[in-house]
Structures are given as C-alpha cells and as structure tokens.
Amino acid sequence: MTDSIPPITTAESVASGHPDKLCDAISDAILDACLSIDSNARVAVETLVKGMEGKAAIVLAGEVSLNGKAPDYEAIARDTAVSIGYDDHSIGMDATSEELCKVHTYITTQSKYISQGVDGDLDSQGAGDQGIMFGFACNDTEDTDELRGRYFPIAAALSQRLTRRLDMIQDSGEIPWMRPDGKSQVSVRLDSKRIEEGDGGRYPETVDTIVIAVQHAKDAGGFSPNEEAQREFIRDTVWEHVVKHAIPKRWLEDFDLEKLIVNGTGSFPDPGGPYSDAGLTGRKIIVDTYGGGMHGGGAFSGKDPSKVDRTAAYHARWAAKHVVAAGLADCCEVQVSYAIGIARPVGLLVNTFGSGTLSDLELSRRIQSVFDWRPAAMIRDLDLKRPIYLITSSGGHFGRSPTENGHFPWERIHEDRITALKSD
C-alpha cells in the first residue's frame, strides 16, 4: 500500500514570454490602443504566434469597431513582442524584422446583429454574450505582511510572484542568459487537522514544492546544455535570484530545497518561446484567474469591457473580495450568468463553502443589493473604458495591487460597500 498523498493545493503561472501570454499581450495592447482612440470601441482580437526555421509569423484576427482611424495593428504587435524580449530569431522570434517575422492581419468590424444588443444606457445595454463568470476571494494571504489585503489563494499568489520576478529580470537584463519564456508552479501544504474540523477554512501551512522552467542561452554559465554543472548553476541562480526574491520568508521557513525543481527535463535552451510552442490568445484562463476551481470558460484578453466574459469576472471578483474583507466569510465564490443582449443577469449565487457568518442565500441577496450587475453599471463603477488592460496580460488578473494610474480597480476595497454588506 502506498503512502497517502498529503492535502496540497497547487497553482501555476507563466511568464510574459510564454507563447500564449505573448498573444494575450498583443491582443490587449491592440485593445488599449483602440480605447485610447475611442473609449466606446468594440474590440475582440485574437492573436496566434509561431516560430519556425528561418521565419516566424504573427496572425491577428477578430473584430474592431471604433469612431476614428484604426491603429496600426502590425506595429502594435511587433512593438509588444519586442518589449517582451523577442528581438532575436535565435531566441524564438525577431519581431523587429519584416523578413524574419511576418504579420498577417484579418480584422473586420463587429457584426451589427451583436452591436444592436450591446449598445445603450444602464437598462438597455445588454450583455455582449451569454456565459457564466466566477469571482473568488479567501483569507490565504492575510497572515503574510507582503501579501496582506490581497484576499487571494496563496498558491496562486506565490506562483504569480515567481513569474513576475522572471519578467522583471528579463526587463532589466540583470541575468543576460535568461530568456522571456518561463513557467512556475507552487504547491502549498494544508493543515489537515484543522480542515477536518469542518468550519470551511483552507488553512495553508507551508510551501511544499516549487517548479520553475526558464528558457536560457545554450551556454548559460559557460557550460553546454544538459551538463550537470549547467543544471546546478541555473538551479542555484533561480533559487537565489528568483525564489528568494519572490517568495516571502514566512512561506520558505520549512521548505526542503530538494523540492525545488528547475527545468525538470534537464535543460530549456534557445530557441524557445514561439519556436518551441505555438501561442494563442486565451489559452491560460486558469493562470489568469485563481489557479484552479470553477471557471466559466471565457477568456479575457483582447475583449473590450462590453464583453461580460471579462467585465463580469472582474465585477464578481470585486464583490467576493468585499465579502471576505468584511469578515462575512473566510472564502467566497460568486457565480453570475448572462444571456446575450439582456442587461440583468440570468442568475447569481454565492458559495462560502461553509465559512460564512450568514447563509449563502442571504449573502447572494446582499451582493445583488450592494453591487449593480448590469453591464453598463459594472463598466461605470469600475471605470473600465480606459486603456488599462495590457498590464493584466501577464502575472494574473486578480490578487494584484490597484495602482494610482487606475489599474486593477476591481481589487480596490471600498469601505462604504463593506458597511452596506454588513448592515443590509
């Protein structure tokens, strides 16, 4: 009989140079450019990238309707790829070169049969599509100084911090042999005894396993790929310059270094990125959200705020975070559903997994009373008709700090709404 597997929660994240994230970034950069021209622009743009021997391709396809001259889609795609680090074909793509990287654009205007149902005022602007969206919040991060106020699953928070650290290294150039493509995964051990008490808490204890993949130069450290010395050099560098920078000490106190897995297949040398894997917008929906759990299936990137796939997911996160911040539950999941062209949700349901101080039905009622779920109202309350989306394309859409420039408004806590939830 094998040993039982301990209770562990796991989440992954990917760096901005991952091929799918590269596509998300290009799609969101195009969205931001369109909103800069017309705040009422209708945008739904998908991106595909693929590198090959001697060439690479970026394919842009979708629908854009705006009042003004359309932006230069090809230039945006190239500039975004270069900003992430893809300016050398030997790495995986050279977006600066028209000879080595072709951009194919297939963008038309939005169908009039869709637009007639999603234009209007608070009561008449309907949902841009049917669908189910989820928002989630929990207390996992609240005993860690560096993470307090996030109300976010700890495994997802830590895995995102690792890939954001990889992005910082790439952007600064402080470790020249590290490349844009990378991934992380963090497994956190839970307190099984406290879970068995059955009060709905999650009770994370310590980090159990860390997995990191990072593309690197073939001669990283002065060694050849797959040499044991190179593997040790890369692993030691990742530990010192990535893990110890990104993971708060509280989560590494009992960590066993044997459970740090770096480039588990042995080596991840150039070329990587779009050369090793084709990329496509919207393929990292769990990475974008909470690292696991319920998900309606709709992707975010490249979609303007009239699309409830994006806006209602942000709004549901906003509502769930307020429930937990108000002390009404240790964890809260909000499910909301829409029909295309209809302003009010088809349904809304709260699940606190037994951790709520009120019944889930009562919390559902209060959330509907305190938060306005009509598409135009959600856009208004979160001020979403602004070019704030490129930054969301890597590092996660949730659990981030709202900025002075208005990024991540769905993460901002409003005391008046907490008061209303408590007293409604």
Strands 55-65 and 101-108: parallel
Residue 360 has pLDDT above 90, yes or no: yes
Question: Does residue 148 belong to any structural domain of this protein?
Answer: no
What was the pLDDT predicted at 200? Answer: 67
The helix or strand, by DSSP H or E, that contains position 104, with its residue range, turns out to be strand 101-108
291 and 419 both lie in a single domain: yes
Q: What is the pTM of this model?
A: 0.95
271 and 354 both lie in a single domain: no
Beta bridge partners of 102: 57
58 and 162 both lie in a single domain: no
287 and 263 both lie in a single domain: no
Question: Does residue 72 belong to any structural domain of this protein?
Answer: yes
pLDDT digits (tens, 9 = 90+) for 2-48: 567 778 999 999 999 999 999 999 999 999 999 999 999 999 999 99
What was the pLDDT predicted at 162? Answer: 98
pLDDT band for position 232 (cuts 50, 70, 90): very high
DSSP SS3 for 360:
helix
114 and 169 both lie in a single domain: no
Give me the CATH number covering residue 349. 3.30.300.10
* Cis amide linkage into residue 271, ω under 30° from 0: yes
Total domains, the chain: 3
Question: Does residue 246 belong to any structural domain of this protein?
Answer: yes
Q: Give the mean model confidence (pLDDT) for residues 304-318.
A: 96
257 and 239 both lie in a single domain: yes
Are 415 and 322 contacting, i.e. CB atoms less than 8 angstroms apart?
no
Q: In terms of pLDDT, which residue wins out, 392 or 6? A: 392
pLDDT band for position 155 (cuts 50, 70, 90): very high
391 and 289 both lie in a single domain: yes
297 and 415 both lie in a single domain: yes
Q: Which residues, other chains included, contact 256 with Cβ-Cβ below 8 Å and sequence gap of 6+?
A: none
pLDDT band for position 277 (cuts 50, 70, 90): very high
What was the pLDDT predicted at 119? Answer: 64
Residue type, 210: I
103 and 158 both lie in a single domain: no
| Residue after which a domain boundary falls, among 277, 297, 322 | 277
Dihedral sign computed on CA atoms, order 306, 308, 314, 320: positive
| Residue after which a domain boundary falls, among 242, 262, 277 | 277
Question: Does residue 346 belong to any structural domain of this protein?
Answer: yes
187 and 303 both lie in a single domain: no
DSSP SS3 for 308:
helix
pLDDT digits (tens, 9 = 90+) for 394-416: 999 999 999 999 999 999 999 99
Q: What angle do CA 355, 208, 243 make, to 5 degrees?
A: 110
pLDDT digits (tens, 9 = 90+) for 165-218: 999 999 999 999 999 999 999 999 998 877 777 766 778 999 999 999 999 999
Give the structural domain span for 223: 8-14+154-277
Q: What single string gives the DSSP state of each residue in 199-263?
A: SS---EEEEEEEEEEEEE-TTGGG--TT-HHHHHHHHHHHIIIIIHHHS-GGGTTT--GGGEEES
Q: What angle do CA 388, 391, 392 make, to 5 degrees?
A: 90
Question: Does residue 125 belong to any structural domain of this protein?
Answer: no
CB atoms within 10 A of CB 207: 25
pLDDT band for position 111 (cuts 50, 70, 90): low
What was the pLDDT predicted at 224? Answer: 87
286 and 273 both lie in a single domain: no
Q: Which residues, other chains included, contact 279 with Cβ-Cβ below 8 Å and sequence gap of 6+?
A: 18, 19, 20, 21, 22, 23, 47, 48, 49, 50
186 and 305 both lie in a single domain: no
